[in-house]
């Protein structure tokens, strides 16, 4: 072990955990392996995050906050918000992999619940502006569910390798998101 000299150990541990999640999947992350890769003592991740669940929850919160910041820039355009969702996921595969694994995260984390709810609120509010209501949908959430399913599914299919990764993912995402048909104002 060479000793830790990064300056902000929690941030470095989260960055290393995100890289591990992208490489091996979140299920394979252990605090011991994280410490080894980060070249710190085995107790360092425990000191900052307590448990593996604490580490993964912090990583998910960080991911949701960054995603929310990216989505917020497109509050008036559901199509660009959808493209941003997909490209953000492709650019942050480790965070994305952890964010959508509730069984690995602390459901009692207020930070996690707030950040995850904010992502949904941003998406559903923007969908509501683009498609103002369906008389057959009592809670008017069907379009938001459809939009989320499309962008989340597309990102997941590309990240998992289930669909071939296109040469220009942004352009392909833009074409797919346009299929939402939410221009009914």
Give the pLDDT of residue 161: 94
In a domain, 3, yes or no: no
In a domain, 184, yes or no: no
In a domain, 185, yes or no: no
184 vs 58, higher pLDDT: 58
Query: Does the pLDDT of residue 136 top 80, yes or no?
Result: no
Could you list the residue range(s) of the whole structural domain that residue 146 is in?
9-178
Longest alpha-carbon distance in the chain = 64
* The total number of structural domains that make up the chain: 1
In a domain, 159, yes or no: yes
Alpha-carbon span 42 to 44, nearest angstrom: 6
CA-based nearest residue to 4, from 45, 29, 40, 36: 40
| pTM of the predicted structure, to 2 decimals | 0.89
150 vs 185, higher pLDDT: 150
Q: Which CATH number goes with the domain that contains 156?
A: 1.10.357.10
Give the pLDDT of residue 185: 43
Give the pLDDT of residue 1: 42
8-57 per-position pLDDT tens digit:
899 999 999 999 999 999 999 999 999 999 999 999 999 999 999 999 99
In a domain, 2, yes or no: no
């Amino acid at each position: 072990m060479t000793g830790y000299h990064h300056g902000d150990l929690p941030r470095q541990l989260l960055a290393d955990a995100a890289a591990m999640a992208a490489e091996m999947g979140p299920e394979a992350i252990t605090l011991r392996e994280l410490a080894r890769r980060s070249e710190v003592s085995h107790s360092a991740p425990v000191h900052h995050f307590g448990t593996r669940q604490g580490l993964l929850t912090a990583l998910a919160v960080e991911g949701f906050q960054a995603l929310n910041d990216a989505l917020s820039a497109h509050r008036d355009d559901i199509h660009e918000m959808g493209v941003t969702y997909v490209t953000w996921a492709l650019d942050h595969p480790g965070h994305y992999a952890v964010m959508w694994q509730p069984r690995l995260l602390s459901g009692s984390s207020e930070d996690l619940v707030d950040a995850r709810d904010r992502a949904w609120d941003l998406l559903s509010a923007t969908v509501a502006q683009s498609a103002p209501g369906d008389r057959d949908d009592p809670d008017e959430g069907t379009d938001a569910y459809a939009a989320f399913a499309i962008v989340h599914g597309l990102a997941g299919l590309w990240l998992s390798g289930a669909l071939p990764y296109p040469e220009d993912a942004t352009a392909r995402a833009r074409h797919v998101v346009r299929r939402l048909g939410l221009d009914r104002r």
